[in-house]
Structure 1
Amino acid sequence: MRVSNSALLQFAAIDLNEANEKRDIEQLLEGNFNRPGRHRSNHFDLPTRSSTGRLPFQLRSPKYYRIWLHFRKSLRDWSRHKRFQPDIMLDLIDLVKRPIDQHYGLPSSNGRYASCAVVGNSGILLKVEYGDLIDSHEIVIRLNNARTEGFQRNVGSKTNISFVNSNILHLCARREGCFCHPYGEKVPIVMYICQAVHLIDYTICNSSHKAPLLITDARFDLLCARIVKYYSAKHFVEEMGKPLDEWASAHDSHLFHYSSGMQAIMLALGICDRISIFGFGKSAQAKHHYHTNQKAELHLHDYEAEYAFYHDLIQRPEVIPFLSDKLKVPSVVIYH
């Protein structure tokens, strides 16, 4: 089917979940945590050194009121940035690279890292031995706490940035000390927020982390979401031959989301001069993840659309929509 590119751009710019998210944020600011799918009531489990490793507490109780105030501030700051601003890509050096450099004791610089490896979790990595090549990069970015132990020949052992979604931190927050450091406690974590309620996990865990725990700017999240929705709609219409007005129901639009890998690559575009991508792709003979037994893809992602984005990133970055004209797209190579 034929749909104009302008129509695809307009479609991608519509956030069908915007009203629900705003209502969600308002309820959270009022202390209402009873929405289905979230914590029931405004009680949380705060990791402690007790025998159970957890201490139930009420956010508004005098003992934990400071946590409540920090949570509200984090939520307000994050939600205020929920707007489209493509020039946010130019701010990633200040927002992400600079605090990471300070943590590692590196000299302050406005330049990008010379080379970055973004290591995905696809099972195709078990068929290759890229470990030494991955570790040769100045910066290695790994996703969602994927294990390296036992897989060093395939995926390497070096990690400079741990990139996760907030569902990962939410699980870690149930552990004593909010432990979420498979690569060591001194490795910085960069995280995007999947649900606004997960900012409570950030609030609780941030103080216990010995390395930076950075939340991606919501403007950056929105940019990633628009790009992926554009490529998903384009694939849906042009490759699958289906009407654009059926996309929302086919992809459960209220749950549809970019993958962690896609946003990690977008992050690398802003802070790296040369990017190597490993472990992105699939094979009928390979597991979904090299380190787990997961067999199926998550339906909330459109991996085919993201692969089309990666292809354009390498072959013709000028056609990628929504990116700032001021952004110099670095060299990108995918290793299969």
Structure 2
Amino acid sequence: MIIKRTIRPLFSVIFVFAVAAVTLFFRAIVSGAGRDPYPDQNPFIISQTKHIPSLFNATLLKFSDVDLADASLRQNVEQLVDGDFLSFRTNRQRSFLSAGRYRLDIGVRNVRGSAMDLRSPEFHQLRLDFRRVLKDWWRQRRFDSEVLSKSNLVNALKGVKYKSCAVVGNSGILLKSNRGEEIDRHDFVIRLNNARIGGYERFVGSKTSLSFMNSNILHLCSRRGGCFCHPYGEKVPIMMYMSQPIHFLDYAVCNSSYKAPLMVTDPPLDMLCMRIVKYYSVKRFLKETGKELESWSGLHGGTEFHYSSGMQAIMLALGVCDKVSIYGFGKSDTAKHHYHTNQKTELSLHDYQAEYDLYEDLVNNPQAIPFISDKFKFPAVVIHR
């Protein structure tokens, strides 16, 4: 009995220590799992949500996934497919049917620049072509994280990938250095929104492989006879994203007269660009203001918010080039907004600073860019300022 009484306290002590050790061990595991693995990074980009990489914030991804303009865009497309052009008198639409910003023009113009009778066989055929391309575009308007890897991006540009590409923006900072010859040495050169190069060759070069623009530019060109929109030469292909669905009417008229290809960006690329830019814009907004997530829309144009032409041209280059050089993106207190115009202010519907954050990640940390498939291999990117 004496032996049993001396052993039992010993086992009790050992048992207590064992329980305490196991408890501390599991507490350490739980504590380590909950600790921020990136203590020096922005707290808005850290998340431990299941199925979401820890680099991204699940709330921001979900918020950026929503296109605020989708409902009104859908309504516009349905009206246009039904041929309800006149309803756009009050919808701020611009096309062949509008002159100025809100006024209805006297009539559609044909490829010769003369007025077109809306009851004519010519306009009937135009309307059929317009409806066809618009419906095809809307049908393809789906998000695809692998769009940059898809062959149709490359096929649109002669079916080959290029070893080196230069995307030339329009910032006034281009006038600070003579990079014209350097730009022209690239295999493929993309220019934006018909920016003038005459007289600026030593700053911006003279070579142009692709003219990239938004459809508002084509609309302005289409008001001239022949739909002429070729400041870089008639053989230079044009690619544009559709700012407004009704601009497919301009496209339908001009496409038949162009000697070089007149292309429209893939809708999945449009949707990828929108999500990425919105993500960067919201992330910067939260970091700088500390306001609620829902406050972002009211301060960034709401349904009018959009990525810039330059941003999408860079995204296009990622999919068709082995190396991408970026020129003329950025701003300076001593430089004009555009090197070739006297424009002094930025468009409020773009968040250029958020786009600059994206470009920095393209150079230094492409894995931090959301919505792009993990399978995509980013090319080398260099920014020249």
TM-score band by shorter chain is over 0.9
Of 170, 173, 178, the residue aligned with 1:124 is: 173
What corresponds to 1:315 in structure 2?
364
Going from structure 1 to structure 2, the CA distance change for 1:76 and 1:14 (only over 3 Å counts) comes to: same
What corresponds to 2:157 in structure 1?
100
Alignment pair present for 1:84 and 2:143: yes
- The separation in 1 between residues aligned to 2:203 and 2:366, in whole angstroms, is 29
| Aligned amino acid, residue 123 of structure 2 | Y
- Deviation (angstroms), 1:2: 5.5
**3-state DSSP of counterpart to 2:189:** strand
Going from structure 1 to structure 2, the CA distance change for 1:43 and 1:74 (only over 3 Å counts) comes to: farther
What corresponds to 2:59 in structure 1?
7
- Deviation (angstroms), 1:42: 9.1
- Deviation (angstroms), 1:43: 6.4
- Deviation (angstroms), 1:325: 1.5
- The separation in 1 between residues aligned to 2:200 and 2:107, in whole angstroms, is 36
After TM superposition, the structure 1 = structure 2 runs for residues 60-75 of structure 1, keeping only pairs within 5 Å, are 61-75=120-134
What corresponds to 2:340 in structure 1?
291
- The separation in 1 between residues aligned to 2:297 and 2:314, in whole angstroms, is 25
- The separation in 2 between residues aligned to 1:115 and 1:240, in whole angstroms, is 39
- Deviation (angstroms), 1:278: 0.2
Going from structure 1 to structure 2, the CA distance change for 1:195 and 1:293 (only over 3 Å counts) comes to: same
| Aligned amino acid, residue 130 of structure 1 | R
**3-state DSSP of counterpart to 2:302:** coil
- The separation in 2 between residues aligned to 1:152 and 1:44, in whole angstroms, is 39
Of 299, 314, 321, the residue aligned with 1:272 is: 321
TM-score (norm 1): 0.92
What corresponds to 1:56 in structure 2?
116
- Deviation (angstroms), 1:245: 1.0
Going from structure 1 to structure 2, the CA distance change for 1:48 and 1:206 (only over 3 Å counts) comes to: closer
Encode CA deviations 1:193-239: one digit per residue, 9 max, x unaligned.
00000010100000100000110011110000000000000000013
**3-state DSSP of counterpart to 2:178:** coil
Alignment pair present for 1:183 and 2:219: no
Alignment pair present for 1:21 and 2:73: yes
| Aligned amino acid, residue 187 of structure 2 | E
- Deviation (angstroms), 1:327: 1.1
| Aligned amino acid, residue 62 of structure 1 | P
- Deviation (angstroms), 1:48: 4.6
Of 351, 361, 367, the residue aligned with 1:302 is: 351
| Aligned amino acid, residue 152 of structure 2 | D
Unaligned runs of 5+ in 2: 1-41, 48-56
Kindly indicate whether the alpha-carbon contact (under 8 Å) linking 2:111 and 2:253 is maintained by their aligned counterparts in 1: no
| Aligned amino acid, residue 136 of structure 1 | R
Going from structure 1 to structure 2, the CA distance change for 1:192 and 1:44 (only over 3 Å counts) comes to: farther
| Aligned amino acid, residue 14 of structure 1 | V
**3-state DSSP of counterpart to 1:10:** helix
Of 248, 251, 254, the residue aligned with 1:205 is: 254
> Number of matched residues?
322
After TM superposition, the structure 1 = structure 2 runs for residues 156-235 of structure 1, keeping only pairs within 5 Å, are 156-235=205-284
Kindly indicate whether the alpha-carbon contact (under 8 Å) linking 1:32 and 1:42 is maintained by their aligned counterparts in 2: no
Going from structure 1 to structure 2, the CA distance change for 1:42 and 1:83 (only over 3 Å counts) comes to: farther
Encode CA deviations 1:229-268: one digit per residue, 9 max, x unaligned.
0000000001332221100100111100000000000000
- Deviation (angstroms), 1:56: 3.2
- The separation in 2 between residues aligned to 1:14 and 1:99, in whole angstroms, is 28
Alignment pair present for 1:46 and 2:109: yes
Kindly indicate whether the alpha-carbon contact (under 8 Å) linking 1:47 and 1:174 is maintained by their aligned counterparts in 2: no
Kindly indicate whether the alpha-carbon contact (under 8 Å) linking 2:111 and 2:257 is maintained by their aligned counterparts in 1: no
- The separation in 1 between residues aligned to 2:122 and 2:104, in whole angstroms, is 18
For the aligned residue pairs, the C-alpha RMSD in angstroms reads: 1.6
Kindly indicate whether the alpha-carbon contact (under 8 Å) linking 1:116 and 1:275 is maintained by their aligned counterparts in 2: yes
- The separation in 2 between residues aligned to 1:44 and 1:22, in whole angstroms, is 25
Going from structure 1 to structure 2, the CA distance change for 1:44 and 1:315 (only over 3 Å counts) comes to: farther
- The separation in 1 between residues aligned to 2:205 and 2:190, in whole angstroms, is 11
- The separation in 2 between residues aligned to 1:61 and 1:188, in whole angstroms, is 31
Kindly indicate whether the alpha-carbon contact (under 8 Å) linking 2:143 and 2:271 is maintained by their aligned counterparts in 1: yes
- The separation in 2 between residues aligned to 1:54 and 1:139, in whole angstroms, is 36
Unaligned runs of 5+ in 1: 102-107
TM-score (norm 2): 0.81
- Deviation (angstroms), 1:75: 0.4
What corresponds to 2:198 in structure 1?
149
- The separation in 1 between residues aligned to 2:117 and 2:167, in whole angstroms, is 39
Kindly indicate whether the alpha-carbon contact (under 8 Å) linking 2:195 and 2:340 is maintained by their aligned counterparts in 1: yes
| Aligned amino acid, residue 149 of structure 1 | G
- The separation in 2 between residues aligned to 1:229 and 1:145, in whole angstroms, is 26
Kindly indicate whether the alpha-carbon contact (under 8 Å) linking 2:111 and 2:254 is maintained by their aligned counterparts in 1: no
**3-state DSSP of counterpart to 1:276:** strand
What corresponds to 2:22 in structure 1?
none
Kindly indicate whether the alpha-carbon contact (under 8 Å) linking 1:116 and 1:276 is maintained by their aligned counterparts in 2: yes
| Aligned amino acid, residue 250 of structure 1 | L
- The separation in 1 between residues aligned to 2:296 and 2:111, in whole angstroms, is 45
